[in-house]
Amino acid sequence: MKGHTGHHDAPAHAGHDHSDRFYWIVAGVLAVVTALEVGLFIVNEQHLIAKWIEVALLLILSTIKGAAVVMFFMHLKGDAGIFKFVFLVPLAFATTLLLTFMLLFSEHVGIAG
C-alpha cells in the first residue's frame, strides 16, 4: 500500500482506553445541547420569553457546540499554534463581517434594496 512506511508510530495516546469513551461523552453533550436548542425553539413558539433572549440563548448553545467540535473532534485544543492562527483569525474576521453587516442592514432594506 502506497504510503506505508513499515514504521508504526508509537503515539503518546497508546493505552488511552478511555479515548473512545471520551468522544462518546462529547457526542452525548452535543446531542443534549441540540435538544435544548430545538426545545427552546419549540417552546418559545408560544412567545414565553423575549425573542432577543431566545436568540442569545441559541447563539450561546451553538457556540458551545461549535467549540466542542473544534476543540475535541478536530483536536485544535492543544494542537500547534499555527493551526489555531490560520483558523481562528479567519473565524474572527468572518464573525466581524457578519456582525457589521447585520448592524448596517438589519430591519431595513438599506442599499441592498
Partner 1 sequence: MSDLTTSPHTATTHATSLGVDSRKLGVWAFIGSETLFFATLITTYFVFAPVNRARSDFQDPRAFLDIELTTVLASILLASSLTMVLALAASRRGDRRHFTLWLLATVGLGLAFIGGQAYEFSHLYHEGLTLSSSLFGTTFFVLTGFHGTHVAIGVIWLLSTFFKVRSYPDSPENAMDVEIAGLYWHFVDLVWVAIFVLIYLI
Binding site for partner 1 (CB under 8 A): 1-9, 11-14, 16, 19-20, 23-24, 26-27, 30-31, 34, 37-38, 41-42, 55, 58-59, 61-62, 65-66, 69-70, 72-80, 82-83, 86-87, 89-91, 93-95, 97-98, 101-102, 105-110, 112-113
- For residue 50, the minimal CB distance to partner 1 (Å) is 14
Residue 98 CA to residue 109 CA, distance in Å, equals 16
Our separate counts of H helices and E strands in the chain read: 3, 0
**Shortest Cβ 104–partner 1 spacing (Å):** 8
Least separation in angstroms between residue 64's CB and partner 1 is: 10
Distance CA 61, CA 85 (A): 24
Quote the crossing angle between the two packed helices 19-43 and 51-68, to the nearest 10°.
Answer: 170
Cβ neighbors of 91 (< 8 A, separation 6 or more) are none
Q: Are 68 and 30 in contact (CB under 8 A)?
A: yes
Question: Rounded to the nearest whole angstrom, what is the least distance from the CB of residue 3 to partner 1 in the complex?
Answer: 4
